[in-house]
């Protein structure tokens, strides 16, 4: 005789299912989930066992509607693979997790036309706050978020009055300082190689390089840039072209560490000695620069610290809202700047 197989129930387990399984009322289960301290230990353990055995997943959206509170922080980044974004997100999440907030992440892969769409999708979760990292938001996007009554923190992006707090990094000053550092070593012919030039921070970099060169009465005509994502191959191709243009080139400033590594590999292939024949330095470097041969002079941006600072500011702001404290006028549109010094490798 053929054995009849039971059809697996694919429906979502409800709060009522948990209550029935535990032999209690729905309000008791709801109370256990919201305020466990108001339920006896024995009853709480019984309900928790029912939740575990049934695989019940609480409806977070319903909880938000009932309480008017959300523990979700929406975060928009331009890339998931870029090291700056990854380290910022990790540090931000570590701070927020300690205060029982969860990060909901959106990525537009440097496509400004998708920013507004992704932000609106993120905000459908009824997020408690929005963090925007390294994005050059369009007017349409800012018009959309200007009507949202939640804290908005803009990190390393275009300074706009619609955001509650702006955290800026002076990339122009960093590039100026690094270029001036190379000039002080007696280099005169210094080029610039940059990627992702549709990004505001990268445009600040090339402006800082240009300013330093002109300030020291040197020509700033050797630059090769692309709007594409930074990679080693671009570094190798760019330095090849730059050396063809100007064989007497003495130094090069790179927007990204990975571009500088490509430049160094190409120099090694050509038997050019670094830094004797060509000095190489990069902005947005990391500890990896200490392990090249020779080591790579770079600007080190402390993205983990920026992530932690952003998290702390956000928690403070949300706690202030929970206490219904009035916001002072000076609390709006605060500007926190980060400045950097070049780290010279041995």
pLDDT value at 69 more than 70: no
pLDDT the model gives residue 226: 92
How far apart CA 340 and CA 283 sit, in angstroms, is 10
pLDDT the model gives residue 169: 76
Cα torsion 33, 36, 41, 42 to 10°: value is: -30
H runs (alpha helix) in 163-276: 171-184, 200-215, 232-245, 257-269
Cα torsion 170, 173, 175, 178 to 10°: value is: -130
CA angle 200, 204, 206 (to 5 degrees): 120
> In which residue ranges of the chain is CATH 1.10.260.40 found?
15-58
The model's pTM is 0.70
Percent of the chain residues past pLDDT 70, beyond the cut: 82
Neighbours of 44 (CB within 10 A): 17
> Is the domain covering 171-300 a CATH 3.30.559.10 domain?
no
Provide the edge-to-edge strand list for the sheet that holds 342-343.
223-225, 190-194, 251-254, 279-285, 297-300, 342-343
How far apart CA 261 and CA 278 sit, in angstroms, is 13
DSSP secondary structure string for all residues of 11-57: SPPPHHHHHHHHTS-HHHHHHHHH-GGGS-HHHHHHHHHHHHHHT--
pLDDT the model gives residue 322: 59
Closest alpha carbon to 152 in 124, 125, 131: 131
Q: Options 1.10.760.10, 1.10.260.40, 1.10.10.10, 1.10.357.10; which CATH number does 15-58 get? A: 1.10.260.40
Query: Of 61-75, 154-168, 215-229, 315-329, which has the strongest mean pLDDT?
Result: 215-229
How far apart CA 30 and CA 43 sit, in angstroms, is 13
CA angle 105, 86, 195 (to 5 degrees): 110
> In which residue ranges of the chain is CATH 3.40.50.2300 found?
72-170+304-338, 171-300
Closest alpha carbon to 216 in 224, 208, 227: 208
Instruction: Provide the pLDDT confidence category of residue 264 given band limits of 50, 70 and 90.
Output: very high
Residues 6+ apart with CB under 8 A from 327: 320
How far apart CA 16 and CA 23 sit, in angstroms, is 10
Max Cα-Cα span within the chain: 96
Q: Which helix (H) or strand (E) holds 123?
A: helix 115-123
Query: Model confidence over 175-198: pLDDT tens digits?
Result: 999 999 999 999 999 999 999 866
Instruction: Provide the pLDDT confidence category of residue 26 given band limits of 50, 70 and 90.
Output: confident
Q: 53 is written with which tokens?
A: 């055995």
Q: Options 3.30.450.20, 3.90.25.10, 3.40.190.10, 3.40.50.2300; which CATH number does 72-170+304-338 get? A: 3.40.50.2300
Query: Model confidence over 296-328: pLDDT tens digits?
Result: 999 888 889 999 999 999 999 888 765 555 443
pLDDT value at 345 more than 70: no
Instruction: Provide the pLDDT confidence category of residue 151 given band limits of 50, 70 and 90.
Output: confident
Instruction: Provide the pLDDT confidence category of residue 3 given band limits of 50, 70 and 90.
Output: very low
């Amino acid at each position: 005789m053929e054995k009849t197989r039971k059809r697996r129930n694919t429906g979502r387990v409800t709060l009522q299912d948990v209550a029935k399984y535990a032999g209690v009322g729905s309000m008791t289960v709801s109370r256990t989930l919201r305020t466990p301290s108001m339920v006896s230990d024995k009853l709480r353990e019984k309900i928790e066992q029912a939740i575990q055995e049934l695989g019940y997943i609480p409806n977070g959206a319903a909880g938000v509607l009932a309480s008017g509170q959300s523990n979700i922080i929406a975060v928009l980044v331009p890339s998931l693979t870029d090291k700056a974004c990854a380290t910022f997100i990790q540090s931000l999440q570590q701070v927020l997790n300690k205060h029982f907030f969860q990060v909901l992440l959106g990525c537009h892969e440097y496509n400004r036309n998708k920013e507004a769409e992704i932000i609106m999708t993120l905000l459908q979760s009824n997020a408690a706050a929005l963090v925007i990292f390294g994005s050059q938001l369009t007017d349409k996007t800012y018009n959309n978020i200007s009507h949202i009554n939640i804290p908005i923190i803009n990190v390393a992006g275009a300074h706009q009055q619609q955001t509650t707090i702006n955290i800026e990094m002076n990339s122009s000053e960093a590039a100026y300082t690094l270029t001036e550092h190379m000039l002080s070593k007696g280099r005169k012919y210094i080029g610039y190689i940059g990627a992702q030039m549709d990004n505001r921070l990268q445009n600040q970099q090339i402006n800082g390089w240009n300013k330093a060169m002109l300030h020291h009465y040197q020509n700033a005509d050797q630059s090769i840039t692309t709007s594409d994502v930074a990679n080693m191959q671009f570094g190798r191709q760019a330095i090849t072209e730059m050396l063809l243009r100007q064989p007497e080139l003495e130094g090069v400033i790179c927007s990204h560490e990975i571009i500088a590594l490509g430049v160094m590999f190409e120099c090694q292939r050509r038997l050019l000695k670094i830094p004797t024949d060509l000095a190489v330095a990069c902005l947005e470097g990391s500890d990896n620069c200490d392990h090249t041969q020779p080591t790579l002079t770079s600007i080190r941006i402390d993205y983990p610290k920026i992530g932690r600072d952003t998290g702390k500011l956000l928690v403070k702001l949300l706690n202030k809202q929970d206490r219904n404290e009035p916001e002072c006028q000076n609390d709006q549109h605060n500007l926190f700047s980060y400045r950097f010094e070049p780290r010279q490798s041995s």
